[in-house]
Amino acid sequence: MHILLVEDAKSIARVMTLRLESHGHTVSHAINGERAVAMFSQGGPDLILMDVEMPVMNGFVAARQIRALEAELEWAWTPIIFLTSTDTVENLIAAIDAGGDDFLFKSAPEAVLRAKLTAMSRTAQLRQRLAQANAQIQRMADHDGLTGLYNRRYLDTELARLWAQSTPEGTEVAVLMLDVDNFKKYNDRYGHHEGDHCLKSVAAAIEAVVAQIAADGLCPQAFAARYGGEEFTVVLPCVTDAAYASVPERVLQAILGLRLKHESNPPLGFVTASVGASRAKPQAMSAAVMIQHADARLYEAKRGGRNQAVI
């Protein structure tokens, strides 16, 4: 385990560090509660051994602040064992109330220390497995099973969050609605298996463009989602004029660049797409209305001959 030892007395900290390392654990040291909270926020340990009485910030206050930080995270709970020189009922109650999990004498026998560490190691491993399982469940809930892009559920949730977040800032958000041209004819001609391959390839092309514009700094928070069927969405939060002007065309070129044969899609004979886009400050319209505007422009692109963007 990675253990955060919080102890102001240097001599005790040295001895305790040697004892912990002798059991195969790695140890980081904080000299007071305030430093412990700062170190915890930079990367959570597997276990915290926390002295109670310390200058600047005592262990009980530090534990409460650490629990407050964990409350903002998914499946976060780091075991905290309080270290003390006095065993009183009042200290035990205060430790539990502060969010502690156990109590340990600083001079506890080696066998007791080993047993406490073994128990907390099990808790840390269980927490890690729960976090991994939760992350996998969350990914399955947020991502489209075929293409791997975000799904409609995530899109709706994230747009709602962006609207709430962006409103006070007065920033603009852009939405691109994208539809694969003549996709029904593609399925009819090549079969649904090839249709699925087509959608996965188109999704990968869109995702590559989104990743590139994020890397270029044009729109770091951009993301793509599968809207449904052969329709996709690209969301550009805090969008700049440069990103709004260039991203639709970059997406179209990336899809055409796949050179996927589509003989029922004249005149090029390859898979293409049409894009409609809209942007606005969230104060000006709802996310639903903005998608409607982008969708209307998508159908303008379709009527205009496909393989084009209307923004």
Give which of 258, 259, 291 is closest to 277, Cα–Cα: 291
Tokens of 74: 């998914």
Give which of 85, 63, 79 is closest to 117, Cα–Cα: 79
Give the number of other CB atoms < 10 A from CB of residue 235.
Answer: 23
Give which of 85, 99, 84 is closest to 37, Cα–Cα: 99
Q: How far apart are CA 181 and CA 149, in angstroms?
A: 19
Give which of 224, 182, 185 is closest to 203, Cα–Cα: 224
Say if residues 185 and 285 touch (Cβ distance below 8 Å).
no
Q: How many angstroms from the chain centroid is the CA of residue 6?
A: 30
Say if residues 75 and 127 touch (Cβ distance below 8 Å).
yes
Respond yes or no: is residue 230 known to be catalytic.
Answer: yes
Which of the residues 7, 34, 207, 230 is marked catalytic?
230
Which residue type does 263 have? E
Q: How many angstroms from the chain centroid is the CA of residue 286?
A: 25
> Are β-strands 80-84 and 102-105 bridged in parallel, bridged antiparallel, or unpaired?
parallel
Q: How many angstroms from the chain centroid is the CA of residue 3?
A: 25
Determine phi and psi for 239, rounding to 5 degrees: -75, 140
What is the distance in angstroms between the CA of the first residue and the CA of the last residue of the chain? 54
- Coil/strand/helix, residue 175: strand
Residues with a known catalytic role: 230
